[in-house]
Structure 1
């Protein structure tokens, strides 16, 4: 008998849960100022208000994976884990001292990944990879990125709305993001660019594809690629409706509840279009499977041979 024994990976034992609880508490203390800054800042805006929902969805995904977590093999990967943890902590420190909230919030991703590798290893990280990565959607986007995407989107939507209404016979013209219809001039604001909905709908699309369509890779990919076009199409409908409301009822109707209602309607329409596309993809997949089942080669192969 050999006196040397190779350490084998173990399952997650109840005795180590207190250490995980202590680690979670340390993370909460370290990132409490970050969460407070997010609550008092970006999470109060329409654009980033979905942040708390992203965190709740990530926790729900962890709960759904609890069986895989309990059965995961524990084999620490300290080298890679410490590198990721130190990288995340350095990012957090530099971002907090320089007041760069986007980087500070993003640093939680390598910190969490590093902690998982140190405590449990690669098998556990594979189980928790998506819940951790999904937290990316809770990170507020930098202003320069938002500005770079917002202006072209506003110009594009204004241009399409103007051409459609002009072709329909309305007295309309356009100058950049200024739309002149009848005797009124309407300015297409940043909220009408669709960027707010793109961020939120992207998170919903990724969550939906992972939770319900993960085994259908092509279908999931098409759904994810369709998010931006669907959001732009829904926002076009919103701006078109606002312009027509102003033309028939005056621009005063666009202030307050009507503008907010069209924003909510835009998001609902975008989600419905996403689910409609998913249904159409499901129908197309069913038709293709039936067509393959009725192919001549299969029919010939199923016929009994003669005597």
Structure 2
């Protein structure tokens, strides 16, 4: 079965691997499959086991994957061909292991979505929006730091210095990476669904803030160092530091929320009454 899958999807897998190698926004793709395996390993104690009979209902998802592949080939949409991998794997698990096993494996299967490059139109639209937000927010922050910053399109003027917020600096890479890490944390963590949802929602402002701070730091250092070589190093190092900074910020949000809303220990009525002192008997009047 694995050999048939590799033979059928080899061109699609090559397209994905090429994006991981050449597109910085998807360089995390190499880590997705190993992390999906980690999700399954962390949930191994909850694996319900295999159903004794084949669940033929799972063929509905396999059929959906086939339709997606056909449509993807007709309209030349590589991303749709890649997306079909998800229902194909889900359908195979459903057929061979049963619906309960599918529910168990679903978080890991959904996580594989992060390995697939976005459609070009969606990527361009999201990148454009992130560029605009990063430009406006970094301009405001630079003014807070006392700099004469003015936004012009996707450029920030800091005095005579011009900072161009290009597509590569839109923050799309860190946004996708932080979303993947937040989902991974939610999948392997036993916290409540509210805690997981809060962390997932925190990704959006956190990614925007980290990318904007990178622009701010770059602008401040550009004002201090005028050499071309120094500015090249500033640009590259600030980009590298943005990744650990985003993870630290995401961890801080999770730690703060965990400290703010501690989980309440659940007790049955029998356990609650067991630890209470017996009521005093009424003394005779």
- Structure 1 position 141 matched with structure 2 position 136: no
The correspondence of residues 82-101 of structure 1 with structure 2, limited to 5 A, is: 82-96=59-73, 98-101=75-78
Report the Cα offset of residue 144 of structure 1: 1.2
The correspondence of residues 48-87 of structure 1 with structure 2, limited to 5 A, is: 48-66=26-44, 68-69=46-47, 71-78=49-56, 80-87=57-64
In the aligned structure 1, how far is the partner of 2:34 from the partner of 2:28? 10
Further displaced range: 203-212 or 40-49 = 40-49
Aligned to 2:3: 25
Give 2:147's match in structure 1, choosing from 170, 173, 190. 170
- Secondary structure of the residue aligned to 1:250 is coil
- Structure 1 position 38 matched with structure 2 position 38: no
Further displaced range: 165-174 or 131-140 = 165-174
The correspondence of residues 187-202 of structure 1 with structure 2, limited to 5 A, is: 187-202=164-179
In the aligned structure 1, how far is the partner of 2:58 from the partner of 2:21? 30
Alpha-carbon distance change, 45 to 89 in structure 1, aligned in 2, over 3 angstroms: same
- The answer on whether the counterparts of 1:201 and 1:271 sit within 8 Å (CA) in structure 2 is yes
Report the Cα offset of residue 150 of structure 1: 1.8
- Secondary structure of the residue aligned to 1:180 is strand
Q: What TM-score comes out, normalization by structure 1 length? A: 0.80
Alpha-carbon distance change, 289 to 114 in structure 1, aligned in 2, over 3 angstroms: closer
Report the Cα offset of residue 32 of structure 1: 1.7
In the aligned structure 2, how far is the partner of 1:303 from the partner of 1:260? 69
- The answer on whether the counterparts of 1:246 and 1:253 sit within 8 Å (CA) in structure 2 is no
Alpha-carbon distance change, 163 to 131 in structure 1, aligned in 2, over 3 angstroms: closer
The correspondence of residues 248-267 of structure 1 with structure 2, limited to 5 A, is: 248-250=224-226, 252=228, 256-267=232-243
Aligned to 1:238: 214
The list of structure 1 runs, each at least 4 consecutive aligned residues, that deviate by more than 6 angstroms after superposition, is none
In the aligned structure 1, how far is the partner of 2:95 from the partner of 2:102? 10
Report the Cα offset of residue 284 of structure 1: 1.3
- The answer on whether the counterparts of 1:242 and 1:254 sit within 8 Å (CA) in structure 2 is no
C-alpha RMSD of matched pairs (Å): 2.6
Aligned to 1:204: 181
- Structure 1 position 222 matched with structure 2 position 198: yes
- Structure 1 position 273 matched with structure 2 position 239: no
Further displaced range: 82-91 or 135-144 = 82-91
Alpha-carbon distance change, 56 to 305 in structure 1, aligned in 2, over 3 angstroms: same
Report the Cα offset of residue 31 of structure 1: 1.5
Report the Cα offset of residue 65 of structure 1: 4.2
1:47-94 CA distances to partner (integer Å, 9 max, x unpaired)? Answer: 01111211111123334445555733333221x322221221232244
Alpha-carbon distance change, 198 to 174 in structure 1, aligned in 2, over 3 angstroms: same
In the aligned structure 2, how far is the partner of 1:112 from the partner of 1:120? 12
Residue segments in structure 2 that go unaligned for 5+ positions in a row: 266-272
In the aligned structure 2, how far is the partner of 1:68 from the partner of 1:32? 33
- Secondary structure of the residue aligned to 2:118 is coil
